[in-house]
Amino acid sequence: MIGLYSPGTSLIHRAPTLLKLLLLSLGVGVVALFGDPRQLGVALIVVVALFIIAGVPLKASVRQIAPILWMLLLAVPVQALLAGWLVAGLMAGRLLIAVALAALFTLTTTVTAVLEAFDQLLRPFSRWIDAERVGLLVALTIRCIPLVTEIVSEVLEARTARGTRGTLRALAVPVIVRSLYAADALGEALAARGVDD
């Protein structure tokens, strides 16, 4: 399954998923308590070290972390105006570290491993949640993404062939209706293969 996973053999890659998840939430929790720029500085060094140990590509990391930068660009001046630059800087630092840690988890853990971890976490609730159905839905959705993408490009092609530009709505309606027909056929195929039995 193509996820955000960036292959590797580092200690961080090999650590058990649930342990990583636990350490991540601990890390985020501890960083949230930091009120001293020096503490944050140390944390920042630790995070950079972790990224180096994991050896994940810089580009992939930046892509996950960058979107919060523009939010900070907006929020830091407002914060500074309200509470001063120190508080604003601390807030930005804490957020950056937390987002980076979460990204590190995602970049070093396969989708399959996360699904297995979720499965383990959901086990106590098996009375209410049918794990097999959830698994089926997950797999079915991954199958459906290229199916829907194909429908979208076919509708776009048909539009180009007719030489019309059309509105968003003229594009969306056929895409959705055709997707629903595809869902009908998929539902039939699932039923024929005994999903409802």
Partner 1 sequence: MTDTIHARSDRPSRARRVLPARDLAQIAIFAALIAALGLAGPLNIGPVPITLQSMGVMLAGAILGPRKGTLALLLFLALTAVGLPLLAGGRGGIGPFTVSPAAGYLYGWLLGAFVIGHLTARLMPKYPFWPALGATILGGIGAVYLLGIPVMAFNLGLPLWTAASLNVAFIPGDLIKVVVTVLVAGQVHRAYPGLIARIGRPRNPADAGSTTGSASTTGSTSTTA
Partner 2 sequence: MSSITFDRVSHRFEGAAASGYTLRDIRLTLTESRIGIVGANGSGKSTLVRMINGLVTPTEGSVTVDGLSVKKQAREVRRRVGFIFTNPDNQIVMPTVEEDVAFTLRRRGLSAAEIAERTARTLDRFGLTALADRPAHRLSGGQKQLLALAAVLVAEPAIVVADEPTTLLDARNTRRIQELLRTLSQQLIVVTHQLDLLDDFDRVIVVENGEVVADDRPAIALGAYRALLS
Interaction of residue 146 with partner 2, rule CB under 8 A: yes
Contacts of 171 (CB under 8 A, 6+ apart): 155, 156, 159
Interaction of residue 186 with partner 2, rule CB under 8 A: yes
Interaction of residue 7 with partner 2, rule CB under 8 A: no
Binding to partner 2 in span 147-176, by CB under 8 A: 147, 150
Minimum gap (Å) between residue 161 Cβ and partner 1: 15
Interaction of residue 197 with partner 2, rule CB under 8 A: yes
Interaction of residue 114 with partner 2, rule CB under 8 A: no
Residue by residue, DSSP assigns 20-41 as HHHHHHHHHHHHHH--SHHHHH
Contacts of 13 (CB under 8 A, 6+ apart): 7, 54, 108, 109
Closer to partner 1 at the Cβ: 43 or 101?
101
Distance CA 42, CA 27 (A): 13
Minimum gap (Å) between residue 30 Cβ and partner 1: 13
Distance CA 96, CA 77 (A): 16
Minimum gap (Å) between residue 174 Cβ and partner 2: 17
Minimum gap (Å) between residue 142 Cβ and partner 2: 5
